[in-house]
Amino acid sequence: MEAINNLISNGAVEDVLFYVFAALTLLCGALVIANPFSRSPVTSAMFLVLTIISMTGLFVLLHAFFLAAVQIIVYAGAVLVLFVFVIMLLDLKEEQRRKIKFFGVAAGLVSVGAIICIFLKSLASIKPNANPPTLEGETYALGKLLFTQYTLPFEIVSVLLLVAMIGVILLSKRKLE
Amino acid sequence: MRAGVASIQRFNGSTIHYFMTVGLHQYLFVSFVLFALGLLGVIMRRNLLVIYMSLELMLNAANLALVAFSRFNNKLDGQVLVFFIITVAAAEVAVGLALIVALYRKRQSAHVEDLTSMKL
């Protein structure tokens, strides 16, 4: 019992959970873009859901509880339903027959290699904060910040959502008049 | 206990030190790899919907980096920014998917290689 308590207080469980969620996120992310078994966009969408849910686990490990809830509700709930709905509307059977072009893979790997080099260089130059993290991303603190310091961006975002809604209705009308 | 080094007390009293304590670097590494995967998907795949999903992956990678920075710098502002990013991403997905549907109605294809009207 004492050993288990020791493990928890030292943060070893959190570390193991981090590696589990990180591996799950990266694996599902890779399966979104290149699935060896199926090229159907539906499979990609399903693995995107898994990526987002495992990323929510990472958010919880970072004590960003409110954002974890928002991520589940907005991304896994709304955005992915929208994706699946559009896939249903379109007839995408043809996609599965098309081959991935070699040139595209080569160009992608070159650009990804370049960006990985930049990332590793910048990662080496980051000095972590000496203080241990004490921040809690709870709803109360976040809401307070949102309605005092960030009131103007909040209002602008609400206008943006309204504009997006009107735009979507206009775009999906059959005839623009 | 030294900072940055976690240790596990075993039953027999011996202590295991392990040096891979999860900190800012590990989270940033995950975020970078996820971003690179999203970029690879955008360049490699030819279906508009899958390209869009890869864009979502890249946005999520940026969100993860912001939350990690916010946690390890003890500042909540990063999480507010992530909140705004999620909101804008939702609006962007709605508009983008409406555009894709409108395009499909006109061209009967959601494939970038069939959209060559702006090619020289």
- For A99-123, what is each residue's pLDDT tens digit? 677 888 898 899 999 998 998 888 8
Q: Which of B59, B47, B43 is nearest to B92 (CA)?
A: B59
Of B10, B44, B76, the CB nearest to A3: B10
Position B8 pLDDT exceeds 90: no
Q: Which residue has the higher pLDDT, A131 or B79?
A: B79
Chain B residue with the nearest C-alpha to that of A53: B60
List, as one string, the DSSP characters of chain B.
--TT-EEEE-TTS-EEEES----HHHHHHHHHHHHHHHHHHHHH--BHHHHHHHHHHHHHHHHHHHHHHHHHTT-SHHHHHHHHHHHHHHHHHHHHHHHHHHHHHHHS--BGGG--TT--
Distance CA B93, CA A168 (A): 10
Q: What is the CA radius of gyration of chain B?
A: 21
Mean pLDDT of A17-44: 90
Contacts of A83 in chain B (CB under 8 A): 49, 52-53, 93, 97
Burial of B77 (0-12, 13-18, 19+ CB in 10 A): middle
Residues near A3 by Cβ (< 8 Å), separated by ≥ 6? B8, B9, B10, B11
Cβ under 8 Å to A: B residues 49-108 = 49-50, 52-54, 56-57, 60, 63-64, 67-68, 70-77, 79-80, 82-84, 86-95, 97-102, 104-105
Q: How far is CA A26 from the centre of its chain?
A: 11
- Inter-chain residue contact A95 with B111, CB threshold 8 Å: yes
List pLDDT tens digits, range A61-79: 999 999 999 999 999 889 9
> CB–CB of B49 and A107 under 8 A?
no
Residue type present at position B10: R
Angstrom distance (rounded) from CA B115 to CA B69 = 40
In terms of Cα–Cα distance, which of A49, A50, A43, A54 is closest to A19?
A54
Separation CA A164–CA A149 (nearest Å): 25
CB contact under 8 A, A145 and B76: yes
Beta-carbon contacts of residue A54 (< 8 Å; ≥ 6 apart): A21, A24, A25, A28
Contact A172 B46 (CB under 8 A): no
Query: Given a cut of 60, is residue B13 above it in pLDDT?
Result: no
Strand partners, B9: B15
What pLDDT is recorded for position B2? Answer: 39
Q: ipTM of this predicted complex?
A: 0.87
B3 vs A150, which has greater pLDDT? A150
Residue A46 in this model has a pLDDT that exceeds 50: yes
The shortest C-alpha distance from A133 to chain B (Å) reads 5
pLDDT of res. A98: 66
Q: What number is the average pLDDT over the span B12-36?
A: 74
Q: At residue B14, does pLDDT exceed 80?
A: no
Residues ≥6 apart with Cβ < 8 Å to A44: A31, A32, A33, A35, B49, B50, B53
Backbone angles phi, psi at A150, to 5 degrees: -115, 35
A94 and B111 in contact by Cβ < 8 A?
A: yes
